[in-house]
Amino acid sequence: MSAADTTTPAKVPPPRQAPPPPAAPNKPRRSRTSGSAGTPWLLLAPCLLILGLVMGYPLVRLVTLSFQKFGQSQLWGFQPAEWVGFDNFSGVLGDSEFWQVVVRTIVFAAGSVIFTMVIGMLIALLLQRVSGWVKTMVNIVLVASWGMPIIVATTVFKWLFDSDYGILNALLSKLPGVDLVGHNWFASGPQGLAVIMLLVVWGAVPFVVITLSAGLTQVPAELEEAARLDGAGAWGVFRFVTLPILKPIIVMLTTLSVIWDMGVFPQVFVMRDGHPEDDFQLLTTYSYKRAFEINDYAQGSAIALITVVLLLGVVAVYMRQMLKIGEVE
């Protein structure tokens, strides 16, 4: 054994560790004072006051009238309003005409919502596959039709479907085997409500198209391309890729459309010259008829309150969906 083998290797000193950085001085935490906590409420106070006056008072008055006997005598102050409890509601709910109006309103609203959503979705999908200038022109037309006042649009549709001077009857009569000269579209309730439904859909489609078009821009093109590579067709891409991403927007638009279409009033009122027949009565016009034509303001208020209760379920779905969207964001 050589001397080199018995030599003990020298120990290498461990590396010197850097000293820890100096601790940052503790900054005094600013305590939230009661004044700063109340600033948002102070800023919201004018808005809440206006909402309370514009929406709160009419709602309270509506509820009050629905539990009273209130007619022309009470309106002019000849007799005091009497509390009758639930007599107005029992009278309304026990009327067979009221339930016919409820069914007619639900069918009308359901048809309007379905046609609005289907047509709006088709137009929004088509706009994704056209050139830029075509999309711009279509959007201009949509915004123009959306911004048209309801009374103006109703007057235009009333002229289009007029039995004597309507252009629609003249155009359809040019088709072989079709003779609609002098045809009255409002001679029956179903035909007349179909025309009014077309008017409602025409006015609601632009909002749906614009909203869905904005949602379609958020669909990743990579997912659509991957679905096509896996053998999915156009329907498969829409069903498994596009539709799930647009589901929150579709639910929101559907609930809003239900609320709007359940409250249709000026279209029916103007189309029937201010006196809708029994076959054209919806909940809104029926409430108006009971209140201002029969002068039973209490029953008119009860019908309006029942309509509000029917819509509360739809409003709950809408608020739940909005909260979900807020949590995702």
Which tens digit of pLDDT belongs to each residue from 61-119? 889 989 988 887 887 878 888 888 898 899 999 989 999 999 999 999 999 999 999 99
* Residues 79 and 73: beta-carbon distance below 8 Å: yes
Which pTM was predicted?
0.80
**How confident is the model at residue 265, as a pLDDT?**
93
Its sign, for the CA torsion 325, 215, 261, 146, is positive
pLDDT beyond 80 at 266: yes
Mean pLDDT (the chain, rounded): 84
pLDDT beyond 80 at 10: no
Closest C-alpha to 128, from 221, 10, 8, 247: 221
Block residue for tokens 């509360």 = 312
Distance CA 125, CA 327 (A): 27
In the chain, what is the greatest distance between 2 CA atoms, to the nearest angstrom? 132
What's at 245, amino acid-wise?
A: I
Residues with Cβ < 8 Å from 307, sequence gap 6 or more? 262, 263, 283, 284, 287
* Residues 161 and 185: beta-carbon distance below 8 Å: yes
* Residues 67 and 88: beta-carbon distance below 8 Å: yes
**How confident is the model at residue 59, as a pLDDT?**
86
What's at 26, amino acid-wise?
A: N
Q: Is 145 helix (H, G, I), strand (E, B) or coil?
A: helix
Retrieve residue 279's tokens.
Answer: 């076959």
pLDDT beyond 50 at 42: yes
pLDDT beyond 70 at 193: yes
Banded pLDDT at 19 (limits 50, 70, 90): low
Distance CA 193, CA 190 (A): 5
Retrieve residue 214's tokens.
Answer: 């904005």
Report the percent of the chain where pLDDT is more than 90.
29
**How confident is the model at residue 4, as a pLDDT?**
45
What's at 293, amino acid-wise?
A: E
pLDDT beyond 70 at 21: no
Backbone angles phi, psi at 277, to 5 degrees: -70, 170
Distance CA 104, CA 190 (A): 10
Retrieve residue 135's tokens.
Answer: 């999309």
Q: How far is CA 66 from CA 63, 182, 303, 312, in A?
A: 5, 44, 8, 18
Distance CA 319, CA 134 (A): 36
* Residues 182 and 164: beta-carbon distance below 8 Å: yes
Distance CA 302, CA 87 (A): 10
**How confident is the model at residue 116, as a pLDDT?**
95
Retrieve residue 2's tokens.
Answer: 């050589």
CATH of domain 65-328: 1.10.3720.10
User: E strands along the chain, which residues?
Assistant: 68-69, 82-83
Please report, for the chain, the start and end positions of each structural domain, with discontinuous segments joined by +: 65-328
Q: Which residues pair with 131 in a beta bridge?
A: none
pLDDT beyond 60 at 208: yes
* Residues 68 and 83: beta-carbon distance below 8 Å: yes
No. of helices (H) and no. of strands (E), the chain: 17, 2
Lowest mean pLDDT among 16-20, 102-106, 313-317: 16-20
